[in-house]
Amino acid sequence: MQLDELFQQPQALPAVPKIVHELIDSFNNEDISIEEIARKLAADPVLSARLLRLANSAYYHVSRTIGTVPESIAMLGFVTVRTLVISSGLTGGYKSMPGLDLNQFWRYSMHAAAVSGWVAQQVRVNRDQAFTVGLMHAIGELVMHAGMPAPMLQLDQQSSPMDDDRLALEERTFGYQFATVGSELARQWRFPQSFVEAIRQFPAPLAQPKFDPVAGVLHLAAWRARAELHELDAAAMAAQVPAEVCAALGLATDVLLKEMPPLTEMCEGLEALIG
């Protein structure tokens, strides 16, 4: 199936609340009314409940309980709230997926998001942008499974969607892979071009004409999330760490391997994204 055919399959695209699309559009609209967004968000019981759980979670270390959507915006800031609501809306976009463990998929994506945010802070890249692309960098995998389930199930028998060789296998089979699909979804949904490019480039950030730091951050985050999934020990991670990408970002590999907190600690409270 060609890429444009995949996006014509009605079941391929996630069902996302209207407020999430409005928040995505807000990237391109400087005149966005935060009060109006807060009012619409408060009217969505599922998203507002998730937002409040996240705002009060250990991840954000807020000093007092946040009880309303306007309070969450005042405490965390609109940019962070937008990131959380978009991320939460995306994770709820698919209810089931034949051949794919959705809980495992979103846990992997959540780990990638947390690592992206942490690494972004170390190398002075926008943390909220890195977190969002971290969470959605593999969503193309879901689009492909939903839009062409039979060919993808065949592929799953050869390689897990989270295996290191998966991108190359999809490229050989279809002529594109999940990063291409995720990037196209981000483009169609009018995410900023920087998001679109980071998702497209993350599998091989050093192969691009110009190195994109966000793609580099995302490459490291996806590697670290896969290492967690496959339960690699410290020696295996040290042997496999993408040292050249670290160097391009000006990040010592020891920062990634030894100074970064454990993922369980970094993700404490983020379960509300996938719950």
Using one digit for the tens of pLDDT, what is the confidence trace for 191-215? Answer: 999 999 999 999 999 999 999 999 9
Helix (H/G/I), strand (E/B), else coil: 9: coil
Q: Are residues 100 and 145 in contact, defined by beta-carbon separation less than 8 angstroms?
A: yes
CA distance 149 to 10: 13
CA distance 65 to 254: 36
Position 32 scores a pLDDT of 83
Number of domains in the chain: 2
Please give the helix or strand (H or E) that residue 113 lies within, else none.
Answer: helix 102-122
| DSSP state letters, 24-81 | HHGGG-TT--HHHHHHHHHT-HHHHHHHHHHHTSTTT--SS---SHHHHHHHH-HHHH
Return the amino acid letter for 135.
L
The whole-model pTM stands at 0.91
The average pLDDT across 229-253 equals: 97
Whether residue 113 sits in one domain with residue 240: yes
User: Which of 44, 66, 91 corresponds to the end of one domain?
Assistant: 91
Percentage of the chain exceeding pLDDT 90? 61
Whether residue 200 sits in one domain with residue 241: yes
Residue 263, pLDDT > 70, answer yes
Whether residue 208 sits in one domain with residue 120: yes
Q: Are residues 221 and 211 in contact, defined by beta-carbon separation less than 8 angstroms?
A: no
| Encoded tokens for 164 | 């290191």
Q: Are residues 213 and 249 in contact, defined by beta-carbon separation less than 8 angstroms?
A: yes
Using one digit for the tens of pLDDT, what is the confidence trace for 123-177? Answer: 999 998 999 999 999 999 999 999 999 999 999 999 988 898 999 999 999 999 9
Count of Cβ atoms closer than 10 Å to residue 256 Cβ? 25
Whether residue 229 sits in one domain with residue 177: yes
Using one digit for the tens of pLDDT, what is the confidence trace for 78-107? Answer: 988 988 888 888 888 888 787 788 889 999
Q: How many residues does the chain have?
A: 275
From 76, 23, 78, 79, select the one nearest 53 (Cα to Cα). Answer: 76
Give the residue, 115 or 87, on which the prediction is more confident.
Answer: 115
Residue 272, pLDDT > 80, answer no
The average pLDDT across 35-42 equals: 90
Whether residue 108 sits in one domain with residue 66: no
Residue 115, pLDDT > 90, answer yes
pLDDT band at 26 (very low <50, low <70, confident <90, very high): confident
Residue 275, pLDDT > 70, answer no
Sign of the dihedral through C-alpha 40, 45, 48, 52: positive
Whether residue 68 sits in one domain with residue 28: yes
Half-sphere exposure of residue 7: CA atoms within 13 angstroms, side-chain side: 15
Burial of 99 (0-12, 13-18, 19+ CB in 10 A): middle
- Report the chain's mean pLDDT, rounded to a whole number: 92
Using one digit for the tens of pLDDT, what is the confidence trace for 179-196? Answer: 999 999 999 988 999 999
Whether residue 221 sits in one domain with residue 163: yes
Whether residue 245 sits in one domain with residue 154: yes
Q: What is the CATH number of the domain that holds 267?
A: 1.10.3210.10
What residue numbers bound the domain in which 59 lies?
A: 17-91
